[in-house]
Amino acid sequence: MAIITIPRKPLTFSERAYLPQIAAGLRITLRHLFKPSETLQYPEERPSIPPGYRGAPTLVMDPNGREKCVSCQLCEFVCPPKAIRIAPGAVPEGSGVEHVEKGPQAFDIDMLRCIYCGLCEEVCPEEAIVLQTQYSMCGTSREEMVNHKDKLYEMGGTLPDQHYKWDKKKAAEEAGNAH
């Protein structure tokens, strides 16, 4: 068995000195040196949030400052990581919304388990859950990362509403106009 050797072309001086490779690396460095900086001074400067961003889920109130959540527990059942816990309670008498069957006594969202999927917002029949554009949440303990009902309403605030189910008079007018 014969061994065949293939003759190689000898390297030039510039190839032996790696000068083309060094020049290519310096060219990339110089190109980035004169480019405008893309660094943001976080948290003073924040990146723009794209439309449709799904952030932290929060609870919102109706324009009259009342709870929109009726404790139907659909969001709790649809949540894949089981991050939502709701304890239904009775609506207090004399509150003006006795025609609503129940309201949440406790509403907790564990933000360490939440995967920001948005299913809770989609399934809510009362539009009581809204995903915020907040993306930076921090805490020093697990307990701080569980948002209770008061904190969820504080984060969500009040949103305009097209549904008048809480107001008997407006709900009756809307039902009459539909027929």
CATH number at residue 70: 3.30.70.3270
Mean pLDDT across the stretch 131-144?
88
Q: Is residue 135 part of a domain?
A: yes
72 or 1, which is more confident:
72
Q: From CA 137, how far away is CA 110, in angstroms rounded? A: 12
User: Which pTM was predicted?
Assistant: 0.68
171 within domain boundaries: no
Interatomic CA distance for residues 177 and 169, integer angstroms: 13
Whether 27 maps to a domain, the answer reads no
**Res 15 pLDDT > 80:** no
**What share of the chain has pLDDT > 90, as a percent?**
38
Residues 6+ apart with CB under 8 A from 115: 80, 81, 83
User: DSSP states of 58-121 as a string?
Assistant: EE-B-TTS-B------HHHHH-TT--EEEEEEEPPTTSS-TTS-EEEEEEEEETTT-----HHH
Residue 166 has pLDDT above 80, yes or no: no
Q: What is the pLDDT of residue 37?
A: 81
Does the structure show a pLDDT above 60 at 67?
A: yes
Q: Which residues pair with 146 in a beta bridge?
A: 110
113: domain range?
57-161
Question: What pLDDT score was predicted for residue 173?
Answer: 58
Residue 50 placed within a domain:
no
Confidence of residue 91 (pLDDT cuts 50, 70, 90): confident
Most confident by average pLDDT, 97-101, 131-135, 141-145, 173-177 = 141-145
Q: 62: Cβ–Cβ under 8 A, 6 or more apart, which residues?
A: 68, 158, 159, 161, 166
Mean pLDDT of 55-80: 90
- What's the mean pLDDT when you consider all of the chain? 84
Within a domain: residue 63? Answer: yes
User: 38 in a domain, yes or no?
Assistant: no
- From CA 16, how far away is CA 2, in angstroms rounded? 32
DSSP category for residue 35:
S
Longest dimension (CA), the chain: 104
Contact predicate 106/46, CB 8 Å: no
Mean pLDDT on 10-27: 85
Residue 43 lies in a domain: no
pLDDT score recorded for residue 107: 95
Quote the CA–CA distance of 148 and 102 in Å, as a whole number.
18
Q: Cα separation of 12 and 92, whole Å?
A: 90
Q: What is the pLDDT of residue 98?
A: 63
- Asked whether the beta carbons of 123 and 74 are under 8 A apart, the reply is yes
Instruction: Report the C-alpha gap between 123 and 90 in whole angstroms.
Output: 22
**96 pLDDT tier (thresholds 50, 70, 90):** low
Count of the separate structural domains present in the chain? 1
Q: Which residue would you say has higher pLDDT here, 138 or 121? A: 121
What pLDDT is stored for residue 12 in this prediction? 83
Examine residue 112 and state whether it is found in any structural domain, yes or no: yes
